[in-house]
Structures are given as structure tokens and as C-alpha cells.
């Protein structure tokens, strides 16, 4: 079956100028041209999938026929061969080794860290004070992932470097993804900044791992679990490089995803007073003035709906897969090595799957309405065998932090300070100043 070519293709540069100019608008428009649309990133031909059914096939039903694609290759110098990048039997082995760190018992233990970090932020607020909420939420996320991964204070240099370097890597890594391959080899500022950030992170994390190995101490944190983990069949553990790659993966995913979701939750609460009122009523009823516990999280049902809707509104922009075998996808015959692009953002704003997609509506996540959504139409953490291993951790963290702060404070927009969306791999606020108002 012939594949339609997306409009706006340039010689040599392909669709890269159109994508960089319009970003999410470009990818969301492709559904008008077919279920599978050709998009060229420089000289690289890709197949952009526009329907939930085909997305589900790529990620879940036919998942074994695909591996991580060219987008992830561009980030490999930074993330290495961690769970986000690895494939095949190695990926399965690493996932088995890491799974105990994300079991329910471990998650319950980490809620105290989440409550403490959120409580420290709530304690620092002052009535009428204007705060940069996106920065505050990043600080909370850094504290939580740092203290669970390294124990309080033991990995402070690594977490501070992550705070500095991760935005740089994501910004310039996405430019690499969308640009012709020859630009990656040029000594231009974006490449230099990407390489410098990657080098700093690698040095600090490897030094921390070496010191932990030498001490032999078990600090009860995720790093200690990674160092202790042994394969059930071979009895082998991870090398220092493998531990490094998983630490970088957890730092990157744990900081950016949670921080951005938290910032956007408070932005949307401020824009929707009735949603905010309902969330406050639930938080007051469930907590009754005490700190959040692990058992409270499933009781905060409306809060979870607010979080789910925020993750729908501000998702990952694109991800890629590469066919590893010949396969028929929607009538298009893919050969090994063919690249496929999926846009969680485009799926989340598809009006056939999510009516009135531009409307912030937590009630679309009632059990009845959520059950009616097509498979493949909601991808906040991916899907299938490669779904983010930390999805339950992230949801618990976001709900816990939101409830802890909302129990005591409202965050109100600053007049004449409009918030705009910047897009790299996901949606960032241009800035997010908000005024702290104590709740009665």
C-alpha cells in the first residue's frame, strides 16, 4: 500500500524544518493524511502512525517485532544501555534485576520520603509570596529521586549535577533526533553542550558507584539494591557500567516527568476553580489534617483523576520504534530497520478517543469513561513490555505531593504573567510564577 508523504518536505532536510517550526501542531495534523504517513528526518525515512489501534499494535500486540528506534540511539551516549535503551534478552534481564526495587513494599517505604520533601516545600511557603512553581517542583522531584536512589545526602553531587545537566541533554538531544545526521558530527554549541553534560554526569555517577562498591555498605536505597541484584539463572550482578546506565535512566525519568507533571497540576487547578474545590474537599476528607500515608493514595480518587488528566494534557511528544523483522502494519509492509514514530501527544489530543481534547476534564477518568477509551490512546508511561518500570512510583509521588501541598496552600496565578508552553521532548512551562495563599 502506498504511504502518503506529509506536506512540508524540504530537499535534504526532509520534514525537519516543518517539525521544528510547528512541533506538536505538525504531528497532530498528520491524522488528516492517513493512518500511516511518511515523515523524513533529514535523509531518514520514517512511518508516522496516527491511530490508537496501530499504536497499540506497535507497542503491545506486535511489540516483540520492534526495538527502540533512532530517537533513542541519539540519547545513547548519555543514557547508555539502561532500560530505556536496551533490547532483547538483555532488556528482560535488566528489568528482572530492577523489578524488586519497584514492588509494592518498596513503594510504601518511599512514601515517607515523598511526604517529607513535599512538607518541606509547604513549610517554606509564605502568604502572598510569589514562587516559581516549576522550579519548586523540580526541587521536590530532585529531593525525592535523590533520597530514594542514593539515601539522604549520600548522592547530593550526582543529584545536583542531574538538576543541571538533564534539561541540557533533553533539549539538545531532541535537536539531534530531528536534525540530519551530519549535524551531529559538527563542533557546534548544541553538540558541545550535550557532550559536556553527558561527560559530567558519567564521571560523577561512576565515582559514586566505585565508592559504594569499595565501602560494601548497604544504605537501604535503590543504588544499594542495584549493586546487590543478582540474576536468578547465572548469579551474576551488574557491572559498574550497567549500574551507571540504570542510575542515569532513573535520575532522568524520575526528575523531569514528575517535576513537570506537578507543575502543570497546580497550573490547571488554578485555572479551574471547581476542580480545585473538589480536590481540596477530597484531600480534607481523606487526610483530616494528618500526613499522607501509602494507604491513603488509592483513596484519593479524584486527585488521581486530576493527575491522569494532567498527564493527558502534557505528555511526551514523540517516541520511536524500529522494526527488527518484516511485518505488516496497517497494510504497509515494514522491512527490518524501518523506523516508526508514535506521538503520545497526538494520541492524547485525538478527538475521536478524547472528546473535546483541549478541555481539562478530570471526570473523563471515571472508571466507566476510562474503560471506553481505545487501547493505544493514552500513553503517559508508554505501553507493553517497555512500559516505564517506575510508573507506579511516579503516580504515587505526584498524588502524594499534590495532596500534601493542597492540604495547606492554594497556588494562584500572577496577573499579567501568561504561561506559555515550550516543547522539547515534552511540554515545559515558559515560567510558572504563582502566589502562595494559605487555605482557611
359 found inside a domain: no
- Average confidence score pLDDT of the chain: 89
Is 343 inside a domain boundary?
no
pLDDT tens for each residue of 188-208? 887 888 888 888 888 988 988
User: Does 30 fall in a domain?
Assistant: no
- Looking at residue 119, what is its pLDDT? 97
Q: Which residues contact 229 (CB under 8 A, 6 or more apart)?
A: 97, 98, 100, 237, 238
**Residue 440: its pLDDT value, please?**
84
Question: Cα dist. 122→139, 304, 401 in Å?
Answer: 12, 20, 10
* Residue 7 included in any domain: no
Q: Is a pLDDT exceeding 60 seen at residue 137?
A: yes
Backbone angles phi, psi at 435, to 5 degrees: -95, 130
Task: Answer yes or no: is 113 within a domain.
Answer: yes
Residues 135-160 have a mean pLDDT of 82
Task: Give me the mean pLDDT over the 37-61 stretch.
Answer: 94
Of 150-154, 302-306, 307-311, 429-433, the least confident: 150-154
Q: In this predicted structure, what is the pLDDT of residue 377?
A: 97
Domain that includes residue 231, residue range: 86-313+364-438
Does the pLDDT value for residue 343 go beyond 70? yes
Domain-embedded: residue 357: no
Asked if pLDDT for residue 305 goes beyond 70, the answer is yes
Concatenated DSSP letters for 281-320?
HHHHHHHTTSPP-GGGGGG-HHHHHHHHHHHHHS----EE
Q: How far apart are the first and last CA of the chain?
A: 63
Does 120 or 41 have the greater pLDDT score? 120
- In sequence order, which residues have a C-beta less than 8 Å from that of residue 334 and are 6 or more positions away? 47, 323, 326, 327, 328, 340
DSSP for 224-246 reads HHHHH---TTT-----HHHHHHH
For range 369-385, the mean pLDDT:
93
Domain annotation covers residue 3 = no
Q: Are 429 and 134 in contact (CB under 8 A)?
A: yes
Rg (CA), the chain: 22
The answer to whether residue 183 scores a pLDDT higher than 80 is no
Nearest to 83 by CA among 211, 248, 198, 236: 248
Q: Which of 166-175, 187-196, 385-394 has the lowest mean pLDDT?
A: 166-175
Cell of 195: 557532550
The CATH number of residue 386's host domain is: 1.10.630.10
Alpha-helical regions (H) of 288-415:
301-313, 344-348, 367-371, 391-406
Residue listed under C-alpha cell 527488527: 324
Nearest in space to 181 (alpha carbons), one of 26, 44, 318: 44
Backbone phi, psi, residue 142, to 5°: -60, -45
What was the pLDDT predicted at 28?
A: 93
Is the pLDDT at 124 greater than 90, yes or no? Answer: yes
CA distance 181 to 170: 17
Checking if the pLDDT of 342 tops 80, the result is yes
Q: Output the pLDDT for position 69.
A: 81
Query: What is the dihedral angle through the alpha carbons of 302, 308, 310, 315, rounded to the nearest 10 degrees?
Result: 180
pLDDT over 70 (residue 273): yes
d(CA 80, CA 72): 10
Task: Judge whether residue 155 has pLDDT over 70.
Answer: no
Q: With beta carbons less than 8 A apart as the criterion, state whether 254 and 145 touch.
A: yes
Q: Rounded to whole angstroms, how far apart are CA atoms 27 and 50?
A: 9
What total of structural domains would you count in the chain? 1
The DSSP secondary structure of 5-70, one letter per residue, reads BPS--BTTTBTHHHHHHHTHHHHHHGGGG-SEEEEEETTEEEEEE-SHHHHHIIIIITGGGEEE-H
Predicted TM-score (pTM) of this structure:
0.90
* Residue 181 pLDDT class (50, 70, 90 cuts): low
Residue 152's pLDDT band, with cuts at 50, 70 and 90, is low
pLDDT 10s digits, 10-27: 988 899 889 888 888 999
pLDDT at 150: 82
Go through 347-362 and write b for each residue having 16 or more CB atoms within 10 A of its CB, e for each that does not.
bbbbeebbeebeebbb
Joined together, the cell numbers standing for residue 161 give 549535577
- Which pLDDT score is estimated for 78? 67
Select the more confidently predicted residue: 50 or 227: 50
| pLDDT for residue 330 is more than 80 | yes
In a domain, 57, yes or no: no
**Predicted pLDDT of residue 154:** 56
Amino acid at each position: 500500500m502506498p504511504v502518503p508523504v506529509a506536506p512540508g518536505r524540504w530537499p535534504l532536510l526532509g520534514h525537519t524544518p516543518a517539525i521544528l517550526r510547528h512541533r506538536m501542531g505538525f504531528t497532530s495534523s498528520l491524522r488528516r493524511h492517513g493512518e500511516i504517513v511518511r515523515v523524513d528526518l533529514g535523509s531518514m525515512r520514517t512511518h508516522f502512525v496516527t491511530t490508537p489501534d496501530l499504536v497499540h499494535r506497535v507497542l503491545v500486540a506486535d511489540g516483540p517485532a520492534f526495538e527502540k528506534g533512532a530517537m533513542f540511539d541519539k540519547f545513547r551516549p548519555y543514557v547508555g544501555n539502561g532500560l530505556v535503551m536496551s533490547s532483547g534478552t538483555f532488556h528482560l534481564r535488566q528489568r528482572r534485576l530492577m523489578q524488586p526495587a519497584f514492588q509494592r513494599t518498596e513503594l510504601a517505604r518511599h512514601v515517607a520520603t515523598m511526604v517529607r520533601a513535599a512538607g518541606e516545600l509547604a513549610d517554606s511557603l509564605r502568604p502572598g509570596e510569589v514562587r516559581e512553581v516549576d522550579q519548586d517542583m523540580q526541587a521536590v522531584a530532585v529531593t525525592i529521586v535523590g533520597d530514594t536512589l542514593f539515601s539522604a545526602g549520600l548522592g547530593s553531587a550526582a543529584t545536583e549535577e542531574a538538576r543541571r545537566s538533564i534539561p541540557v541533554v533533553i533539549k539538545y538531544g531532541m535537536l539531534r533526533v530531528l536534525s540530519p545526521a551530519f549535524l551531529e558530527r559538527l563542533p557546534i554549541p548544541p553538540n558541545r553542550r550535550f557532550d559536556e553534560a553527558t561527560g559530567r554526569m558519567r564521571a560523577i555517577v561512576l565515582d559514586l558507584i566505585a565508592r559504594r562498591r569499595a565501602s560494601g555498605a548497604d544504605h537501604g536505597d535503590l543504588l544499594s539494591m542495584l549493586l546487590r541484584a543478582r540474576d536468578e539463572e547465572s548469579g551474576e550482578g551488574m557491572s559498574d557500567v550497567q549500574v551507571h546506565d540504570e542510575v542515569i535512566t532513573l535520575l532522568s525519568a524520575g526528575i523531569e516527568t514528575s517535576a513537570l507533571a506537578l507543575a502543570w497540576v497546580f497550573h490547571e487547578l488554578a485555572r479551574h476553580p471547581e476542580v480545585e474545590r473538589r480536590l481540596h474537599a477530597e484531600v480534607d476528607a481523606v487526610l483530616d489534617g494528618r500526613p499522607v500515608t501509602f494507604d491513603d493514595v488509592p483513596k484519593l480518587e479524584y486527585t488521581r483523576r486530576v493527575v491522569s488528566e494532567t498527564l493527558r494534557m502534557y505528555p511526551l511528544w514523540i517516541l520511536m520504534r524500529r522494526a527488527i523483522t518484516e511485518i505488516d502494519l496497517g497494510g504497509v509492509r515494514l522491512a527490518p530497520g524501518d523506523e516508526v514514530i508514535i506521538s503520545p501527544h497526538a494520541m492524547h489530543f485525538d478527538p475521536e478517543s478524547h472528546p473535546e481534547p483541549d478541555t481539562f476534564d478530570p471526570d473523563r477518568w471515571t472508571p466507566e469513561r476510562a474503560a471506553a477509551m481505545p487501547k493505544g490512546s493514552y500513553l503517559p508511561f508508554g505501553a507493553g513490555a517497555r512500559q516505564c518500570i517506575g510508573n507506579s512510583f511516579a503516580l504515587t509521588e505526584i498524588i502524594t505531593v499534590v495532596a500534601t501541598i493542597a492540604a495547606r496552600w492554594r497556588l494562584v496565578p500572577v496577573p499579567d504573567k501568561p504561561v506559555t508552553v515550550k516543547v522539547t521532548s515534552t511540554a515545559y512551562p515558559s515560567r510558572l510564577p504563582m502566589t502562595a495563599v494559605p487555605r482557611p
